[in-house]
Amino acid sequence: MSDQEALTGERLFVDRFPEEARIVRAALWSSFVALGIGALGGLIQALHRTNYFRFIDSADYYTVLTLHGVLLVISFTIFFLVGVFTWAMVRSLDRPVDDIRFTWTWYLLMAAGTAMAGIAILAGFVDSIPMSADVLFTFYAPLQAHPLFYAGLAVFIIGTWLAGFDWFRMWWQWRDENEGERIPLQAFMVLTSMLMWYIATLGVATEVVVFLLPWSLGLIEQVNPLLTRTLFWFFGHPVVYFWLMPAYLLWYTVLPKLSGGRLFSDPLARVVFVLFLLLSTPVGIHHQYVDPGIAEGFKFIAMTNTMFLLLPSLLTAFTVVASVEHGARQRGGEGYLSWLGVLPWRDPAFTGMALAGLMFAAGGFSGMVNAGMNINYLIHNTLWVPGHFHLTVGTAVALTFMASTYWLLPQLTRRAVYSRRIGLFQVVLWFVGMTLMSNAMHRGGLIGIPRRTAEPQYSGFAFDAGFSTVGELRFQIAIGGTLLFISVVLFLGNVIVSLLEPPMEEAFDGTLPPALSGPEDSPEVLDNLALWTGIAVLLVVLAYILPIGAIISEGGLFGPGTGTYPAWIIEVIS
């Protein structure tokens, strides 16, 4: 028995599952490379848009914006997700992956897909290369990218599908050996998130493989833009929960432990993940409230579903805060709010995750504003929307990922974090930078400043800032964006220097305590994944069949004039 085991009673993840720890590390490092490059893109944009410093030509703005968006919301988030999900499956089922070569295969597919898409985007900077992909992370028609970009996306998504298969296969084997037992909570979270992902990615896979890729290859002349948009948003809303679910997994299972307590309720956590599986996809049309060609009634249904979808996050706010409070009371905290003071605020992992949760509460409220059909008209396509998603994916998710790295690192590398003080400073800096940037973005959006433009000033037109000035908003965005970039540099530097340190001597406790109210308190039907998947598919069919049918019959499957069916079908049948 090593000293580690003697002190903590449990071996570190890296000692117990060295092969799996290697793949989790590979996924995290890939995600951090994307974070570094994506963050640089963010700094360039923030300074460019606000006109403080222009490193690039405005003509290249969309190349930078695409690089920033794709690397951060596709590569950074999803590579981190596969790392955390692999760790969570292996540790919660307490078994290795079935075949490590298969595991490396999906990782390599994801890496190859990212490289393909990345090359297509970066080529946009070089005039002599006839390739570009300035299509932003929402990449729907009529913007068109080089085929390499779409092929890269397809390869990346296939990689994630195989990753899901890997985890399901582990679970099937575990189930055979543990008949009648409840699915361990972390595994339950991974499996339900993946089922949601399989349903959601059907939309984007169809969009890319049937329409955009053949169109960019010149095999088909045109596409129906509204159809590709709708297929994109079929995926584009649930993908935001795919980013969020690993953060939720960490809030539910790791944050209570860092607070000194235990998860309040395992059954409630299961209900939350089931609700996300059911409701994440039939809401995508809330991104299309202003799209002509979709009847108001369908938009109304999407709005109603979105309002139901607030429920799992509100349940999460309750359960996670209750668990943190329980932790604080274990540490001797008292009173209505004074228990907050005894929490481990010096621990960067705890503080980062708690601040991420706090900001998510604000991001959730701006999401509710977005979701209201009539208020959406006020903020759609304005700077409000980037304000919203920098609080959600840009903080709830990104800050949780960075903060939890400080806790995961020792278990995966046997290295202590080089400086916990820098870690603490870094997570607080993110919070401060984001407060400035996203607040100003929300306010700017309300007065009509558009999103996605290098030149938001529109010469000859002045925005009425209500109180204060547009200059003050721009200043906050520039300062906020710069602080965020410094925070990422400190994070990456801290991680890299940690890896250069010798293996740690002191003990590290990587165990997770069981919930106060365990799975035995919940009905077994919650673990019936086939049932929930069936209902989820049914809800998707109900929400989408009529609008998609109408879009095709009005605009043609392959665009105007092509009719509802591809020409070759008509030739075959006539």
Interacting residues with ligand HAS (CB under 6 A)? 138, 240, 243-244, 251, 286-287, 306, 309-310, 313-314, 316-317, 320-321, 324, 354, 357-358, 360-361, 364, 367-368, 370-371, 376, 380, 385, 388-389, 392-393, 397
Contacts of 277 (CB under 8 A, 6+ apart): 192, 193, 195, 196, 532, 533, 536
* Rounded Cα gap, residues 253 and 270, in angstroms: 12
Q: Catalytic: which of 390, 414, 415, 443?
A: 390
- We find the least distance from the C-beta atom of residue 502 to ligand HAS, in angstroms, to be 34
Known catalytic residue at 237:
yes
With 0-12 / 13-18 / 19 or more C-beta atoms within 10 angstroms meaning exposed / middle / buried, residue 460 is exposed
Residues 218-237 interacting with Cu ion (rule: CB under 5 A) = 237
Residue showing the smallest CB distance to Cu ion in the complex: 237
Contact 12, 505 (CB under 8 A): no
* Rounded Cα gap, residues 144 and 218, in angstroms: 11
Count of H-run helices and E-run strands, the chain: 22, 0
Per partner kind, with CB cut-offs from 5 to 8 A, the member of ligand HAS, Cu ion, none near residue 389 is: ligand HAS
Radius of gyration of the chain (CA): 24
Known catalytic residue at 182:
no
- We find the least distance from the C-beta atom of residue 274 to ligand HAS, in angstroms, to be 16
Q: How many residues of this chain interact with Cu ion, rule: CB under 5 A?
A: 1
Other beta carbons within 10 Å of 499: 12
Known catalytic residue at 451:
yes
- We find the least distance from the C-beta atom of residue 69 to ligand HAS, in angstroms, to be 8
Contact 276, 312 (CB under 8 A): yes
Per partner kind, with CB cut-offs from 5 to 8 A, the member of Cu ion, ligand HAS, none near residue 392 is: ligand HAS
* Rounded Cα gap, residues 536 and 46, in angstroms: 39
- We find the least distance from the C-beta atom of residue 480 to ligand HAS, in angstroms, to be 18
Known catalytic residue at 62:
no
Q: Which CB sits closer to ligand HAS, 364 or 556?
A: 364
Which of 170, 223, 167, 152 lies closest to 198, judged by CA? Answer: 167
Known catalytic residue at 389:
yes
Other beta carbons within 10 Å of 203: 24
Residues 235-254 interacting with Cu ion (rule: CB under 5 A) = 237
- We find the least distance from the C-beta atom of residue 330 to ligand HAS, in angstroms, to be 14
- Half-sphere exposure (Cβ direction) of 75: Cα atoms closer than 13 Å: 33
Known catalytic residue at 61:
no
Q: Which CB sits closer to ligand HAS, 147 or 547?
A: 547
Q: Which CB sits closer to Cu ion, 91 or 237?
A: 237
Known catalytic residue at 443:
no
Residues 119-138 interacting with Cu ion (rule: CB under 5 A) = none
Contact 434, 395 (CB under 8 A): yes
- We find the least distance from the C-beta atom of residue 286 to ligand HAS, in angstroms, to be 4
Q: Which CB sits closer to Cu ion, 237 or 442?
A: 237
Q: Catalytic: which of 229, 237, 262, 415?
A: 237
Torsion, Cα of 80, 479, 65, 467 (10° steps): 120
Other beta carbons within 10 Å of 181: 11
* Rounded Cα gap, residues 426 and 491, in angstroms: 6
Q: Which CB sits closer to ligand HAS, 191 or 244?
A: 244
Per partner kind, with CB cut-offs from 5 to 8 A, the member of ligand HAS, Cu ion, none near residue 321 is: ligand HAS
Q: Which CB sits closer to ligand HAS, 171 or 273?
A: 273
Q: Which CB sits closer to Cu ion, 136 or 507?
A: 136
Q: Hey, what amino acid is at 195?
A: L
- We find the least distance from the C-beta atom of residue 500 to ligand HAS, in angstroms, to be 33
Residues that bind Cu ion (CB under 5 A): 237
**Residues involved in catalysis:** 237, 241, 388-390, 451-452
